[in-house]
Structure 1
């Protein structure tokens, strides 16, 4: 099901046909959380997620987020951004309001995310530090895309 929200000349939509992968990839490949991410990985990630695009009335994409979820018990929020030119307009907060109200994302036992610099935004929506970080585990490969390029001689 496609969800759309309109406000102040902007559209938030889960219609994957609207996603502008050049915009998404240009941002993500230079972000601190996915440096060097290949375009095909960005496309596959969107394909396996509930993807949200933020668009101006002109159709230009200015923001993005995706939720990875089983739509029953768990959701992970990833790749959230608003382009620098559009920041300060409340778009990140509106995006969070929209994605958290999707019917298929209600009554989940746990939401998770990772952020280096947006704790204040997410705290407004109930996100808190882990209660028991000692029970959480991970396999982290923060430079995997750069390492893959180097291994391939690129």
Structure 2
């Protein structure tokens, strides 16, 4: 995957490399959107998604994560994007989302959505824009 990722890191879409325990800890303890998510629920989310990890090349340690829920035909939902605090500010998050976007391009999807409370500028750099007609969208479940 080609991105502006610093040379010390690599991005992989190999779900077998995901450190599920680490991802659960990150999300359930530090991510406002997944706080208190159970490990069982996180494991089901990983199993039913395309998963992307960012890894330190020297140690192999995972430093970032993102997942995509998709039918690989028309729609995708990018979610659970997380970069470990000790490596934030190096462009790793932007590189990860760029790699996900480029990976999804092969499916010629009509729409890739995400939700964020605080990272609009990062996603805008990669091409995401606000919904054109948000009044058309509805949700079922917790908001």
Q: Same fold (TM over 0.5)?
A: yes
CA distance in 2, matches of 1:61, 1:10: 9
- Structure 1: which 5+ residue stretches go unaligned? 143-154
Distance in 2 separating the partners of 1:113 and 1:140: 16
1:20 aligns with 2:19: yes
Unaligned stretches of 5+ residues in structure 2: none
> Please, what TM-score do these two structures have when normalized by structure 1?
0.83
In the TM superposition, residue 140 of structure 1 has moved relative to its aligned partner by 3.4
Shift in Å at residue 138 of structure 1?
0.5
Distance in 2 of aligned mates of 1:125 and 1:140: 29
1:148 maps to none
Larger radius of gyration: 1
1:138 and 1:70 mapped to 2: Cα distance? 18
1:104 Cα shift? 6.1
Deviates more, 1:86-95 or 1:105-114: 105-114
Taking structure 2 as the reference length, the TM-score comes to 0.89
- What do residues 33-52 of structure 1 show as CA deviations (whole Å, max 9, x unaligned)? 01110111111111111100
Runs of 4+ in 1 over 6 A off after TM superposition: 3-6
Per-residue deviation, 1:139: 1.9
Mean Cα deviation higher: 63-72 or 4-13: 4-13
Three-state SS of the structure 2 residue aligned to 1:124 is: helix
Q: CA RMSD in A?
A: 1.9
Cα deviation 1:17-64 (Å, max 9, x = unaligned): 111112101111021101110111111111111100111121111110
User: Does structure 2 retain, via aligned residues, the 8 Å contact 1:4–1:14?
Assistant: no
Q: Residue 115 of structure 2 aligns with which residue?
A: 114
1:132 to partner: Cα distance:
1.0
Counterpart CA distance in 1 for 2:140 and 2:90 is 36
